[in-house]
Amino acid sequence: MLNTVIIGASGYAGVELVNILSRHPNINIVGLLVSQYSSDIGKPLSEVHPRMKNIIDLPLQSVNSLAGKDKIEIVFLATSHEISYELAPKFLKTGCVVFDLSGAFRVKDKNFYKNFYGLQHKHGAFLEKAVYGLAEFQCEKIKKAQLIAIPGCYPTVSQLALKPLINEGLINTAQYPVINAISGVSGAGRKANIKTHFCEISLEPYGIFNHRHHMEIVIHLGIPVIFIPHIGNFSRGILATITCLLKKGVTNKNIADAFNKAYHTKPFVRLYQQGFPSLKSVINLPYCDIGFAVNNNHLIVIGAEDNLLKGAASQAVQCMNIRFDFPETQSII
């Protein structure tokens, strides 16, 4: 049994982590932690999130209460990048394996953080040793890592939809792939904000040309893309519609073969032979669903995922299972 703490346990991704890890036969949850300023300190998690009643009723504690706890072996940071940036190095120095769901360690270029997070990144050594946790493509590196940076929700669905095609050299990059992605409002987090108040939300684009996930996608795909994120008036899920130009002679079969080659042994990517994914097919499930259509040299790929699961918590646990040589699907499905 590995002693584990979840920091940010009261948030939307945090409670999903708790739910999954509470079922894991190799995990002993020794702490559910929140900010020292949280009004939820002292409350059972099941009071803040009633769906957890009789599943896990541990109290939420201040992150400052860690002193004196049993030896901690695994830490999940379901926190903002500012908090992860401060906490991750402290746990790494004690020998913990850290799974960070924020953007604090996803990209090795310090200028990225200055330009897109307003952060002067001073943890260069930890940044260099961090492994990007896109589980389907980073398995061998994850097995040896101490710090795993879980990809953002938009980058996960975008990369899973495009990476097999790029790896097989099928896309004509003279025309940038265009990613139109719509996310539920839970992607903005649980903290109250009038801009993300459900009654105020309409379907609208935001962050065009300056969304921090845009550059995360570009850096890890290795090609430029156009990324247009949208927020929708629904709670969870992401649907991405991606338009690409194919190289001459690329066929429908070539595309299908590329996806099958990449994912035929990957349990959390489901490929559509006919039709296209929808949000209904992935909500509350740990999968990324992918379908596509080809017309001459034009390709449209549709990807769908639950932003709180495959886009955050279940992918983090997937990475943990890989890291500790547990069955990859353990406690997730």
Annotated catalytic residues are 153
Query: Residue 112's Cα: distance from chain center in Å?
Result: 19
Q: Which are the contacts of 131, defined by CB distance < 8 A and separation ≥ 6?
A: 138, 141, 142, 144, 145, 147, 148, 149
Of 126, 94, 89, 145, nearest in space to 323 by CA:
145
Q: Over the range 303-319, which residues count as b (16 or more CB within 10 Å of their CB) and which as e?
A: bbbbbbbbbbbbbbbbb
